[in-house]
Amino acid sequence: MTAEPVVWDDPDVDWAAYDLVVVRSTWDYSPRRDEFVRWAEAVPRLENPADVLRWNTDKGYLRSLEASGVPVIPTIWLDPSRHLSKRAVHTRMPAFGDFVVKPVVSAGAKDTGRYQPVSAQSRGLAIQHAVELLDAGRAVMIQPYVTSVDTAGETCLVFVDGRFRHAARKNALLTGPAKTAGLYAEEKMSAVEATEPQLEVATRALDVAREELGRDEPFLYARVDLVTRDDGTPMLIELELTEPSLWMQHAGEARTLDALADAIAARV
Ligand SMILES: Nc1ncnc2c1ncn2[C@@H]1O[C@H](COP(=O)(O)OP(=O)(O)O)[C@@H](O)[C@H]1O
Ligand SMILES: [Mg+2]
């Protein structure tokens, strides 16, 4: 069996010529998500497949996971079709505690900012950020800034073929207003052990995602990113079924790589 790297938007690739196409690092899809999903739909054999990518590239999936009992970061959702005034956007922002403004379609912490309600200047920048996204037709999420991210980071749980392989810790990424430069924010990672409650939440999130998608088989690859609530329990920040970095260099490299290769081979 041979494998070769190709670029998703290369017009010269004959996708039907491959027994299987595996999405890996398509980090530039978010500004053209529709084009990306259409591309995925046109690839005859794709993992994770197009319906999974369509569902997962809009963080609106967090709402359905929450409705099915998965703990997620409390979120206020702003839709561009409502044509909210600046004042209306302002009233949606928390009065206490730092908060985050981010687009529902994004990757690599792009267009994601952290703001302080106590500062009029920071509030102004937050409103401007949200309004700019909405004016560009992009739906917006407002969340409390989860302060444990500053001390404990995020825990990323990597699954291959439905089985947990390893966890990695991602340090905090947000210090202030959104940066728009670059493809993704630089991420500082280290190895970490997943706890039993984290494994439970991650497994539940994946089970619900499969139910939502009407899928019996496990995902070829998945990463579940968790943060810690004030009471110490885990909650979901993001479920990555599209183009997750798997952080094999930080934990269980050989094991995970073998498992991924086996899972791909079994699908060919
Ligand atoms: N509510 C939040 N509290 C703390 N940090 C957050 C919050 N939302 C986002 N972040 C930070 O921003 C980064 C990117 O946000 P995330 O929701 O993971 O989107 P994506 O990785 O798809 O860009 C996270 O890794 C985290 O560092
Ligand atoms: Mg993330």
Q: Are residues 94 and 224 part of one domain?
A: no
Res. 23: pLDDT tops 90: yes
Q: Closest Cα to residue 118, out of 141, 145, 153?
A: 145
Q: What pTM did the predictor assign?
A: 0.95
Amino acid at 207: D
Q: Closest Cα to residue 165, out of 40, 258, 87, 43?
A: 258
Domain count, the chain: 2
pLDDT tens readout for residues 24-45: 999 999 999 999 999 999 999 9
Atom 6, ligand 1: residue with shortest CA distance: 145
Element (H, E) at 42: helix 33-42
Q: Please report which residue ranges of 92-248 form alpha helices under DSSP H.
A: 120-135, 148-152, 196-213
The whole-number pLDDT of residue 182 equals 66
pLDDT tens readout for residues 157-181: 999 999 999 999 999 999 888 876 6
Which of 123, 144, 165 is the last residue in one of the domains? 144
- Considering every ligand atom shown, identify the ligand nearest to the alpha carbon of residue 141 and give its number: 1
Q: Are residues 129 and 199 part of one domain?
A: no
Q: Is residue 158 part of a domain?
A: yes
Q: What is the mean pLDDT of residues 41-51?
A: 98
Which of 119, 144, 169 is the last residue in one of the domains? 144
Q: Closest Cα to residue 143, out of 71, 226, 237, 223?
A: 237
Q: Are residues 262 and 139 part of one domain?
A: no
Q: Is residue 51 part of a domain?
A: no
Amino acid at 30: S
- The two tokens of residue 78 are 């702003």
Domain range for 82 = 76-144
- Ligand 1 pocket test, pick from 65, 186, 237, 243 with the greatest ligand atom count within 8 Å of Cβ, gives 237
The whole-number pLDDT of residue 176 equals 87
The percent of residues above 90 in pLDDT, for the chain, comes to 86
Element (H, E) at 223: strand 221-228
Q: What is the mean pLDDT of residues 68-95?
A: 96
Q: Is residue 170 part of a domain?
A: yes
Q: Are residues 193 and 213 part of one domain?
A: yes
Residues contacting 189, CB < 8 A, separation 6+: 156, 168, 169, 170, 171, 247, 250
Mean pLDDT of the chain: 94
Ligand 1 atom at minimum distance from 225 CA: 18
The whole-number pLDDT of residue 96 equals 94
Taking a 5 Å cut-off on Cβ, the residues next to ion ligand 2 are 238
Upper half-sphere CA count for residue 225 (Cβ side, 13 Å) = 22
Asked if 61 contacts 55 with a C-beta cutoff of 8 angstroms, the reply is yes
- Considering every ligand atom shown, identify the ligand nearest to the alpha carbon of residue 187 and give its number: 1
Res. 73: pLDDT tops 70: yes
What are the angstrom distances between the C-alpha of 187 and each of 109, 224, 247, 248? Answer: 10, 16, 11, 14
Q: What is the mean pLDDT of residues 7-27?
A: 97
- Can you tell me the distance from the alpha carbon of 253 to that of 97, in angstroms, rounded to the nearest whole number? 39
**Own/partner pairs, 87-96, CB within 8 angstroms, 24+ separation:** 89/127, 89/130, 89/131, 89/134, 90/123, 90/127, 92/142, 93/117, 93/123, 93/126, 93/127, 93/142, 94/142, 94/144
Which of 117, 144, 171 is the last residue in one of the domains? 144
- Can you tell me the distance from the alpha carbon of 107 to that of 147, in angstroms, rounded to the nearest whole number? 21
Q: Are residues 253 and 172 part of one domain?
A: yes
Asked if 100 contacts 142 with a C-beta cutoff of 8 angstroms, the reply is yes
Asked if 242 contacts 254 with a C-beta cutoff of 8 angstroms, the reply is no
Q: What CATH number should be reported for the domain holding residue 93?
A: 3.30.1490
Q: Are residues 235 and 189 part of one domain?
A: yes
The whole-number pLDDT of residue 197 equals 98
